[in-house]
Homo-oligomer: A and B are copies of this chain.
Amino acid sequence: MKLGRMNHLGYAVPDMDAAIAHYRDVMGATVITEPFDMPEQGVKVCFVHTPGNGEGGSGTAGTQVELLSPLSDESPVANFIAKNPLGGQHHVCFEVPDIEAARAWFEGQGKRILGPTRIGAHGTPIFFVHPKDMLGMLTEIMETPKEAH
């Protein structure tokens, strides 16, 4: 496997509106997507774009910040917020060209994969690898979108 792009950092936040205001008003983010619900994951999701480093300047996408807030007390993110009331890093996501090849690779390395491959917030297949096998980081592996996102 060859390391792919760091697509996003997942941050759990207790209050989505306050987090969006922080990124917009304090950090100066200019592109923040509308939040949307992912009820099957129990989360509300919103992406903060950061600039990249290519020749394209601001037209080149950088790593996104994915803000996550719980939809209910049963959400896995609700447990995270209970332990980290201010919020904090929830996961990191790297891209791969082929999700099935990546899944076979991590399985072959003896890494514990959490659940089935499913469609993630970017509309491409993803899976998660257990933090205890990944230097303490819950790690999302995501197939690179076919078109820019």
Contacts and interface: CB of A to CB of B under 8 A. Distances in A.
- Choose among A50, A94, A135 the residue with the greatest number of B CB atoms under 10 Å from its CB: A135
Contacts of A26: 1, 106, 109, 111
A136 B135 CA distance: 20
A26 to B, nearest CB: 5
Contacts of A6: 9, 50, 62-63, 65
- Choose among A6, A19, A29 the residue with the greatest number of B CB atoms under 10 Å from its CB: A6
Contacts of A106: 26
User: Top 5 closest A-B pairs, CB basis?
Assistant: A54-B54, A86-B136, A1-B28, A87-B136, A88-B136
Contacts of A134: 22
Contact of A50 (B3, B60, B131): B3
Contacts of A137: 11, 87-89
Nearest to A18: B135
Contact of A86 (B5, B19, B94, B135): B135
A60 B60 contact: yes
B135 A19 contact: yes
A63 B63 contact: yes
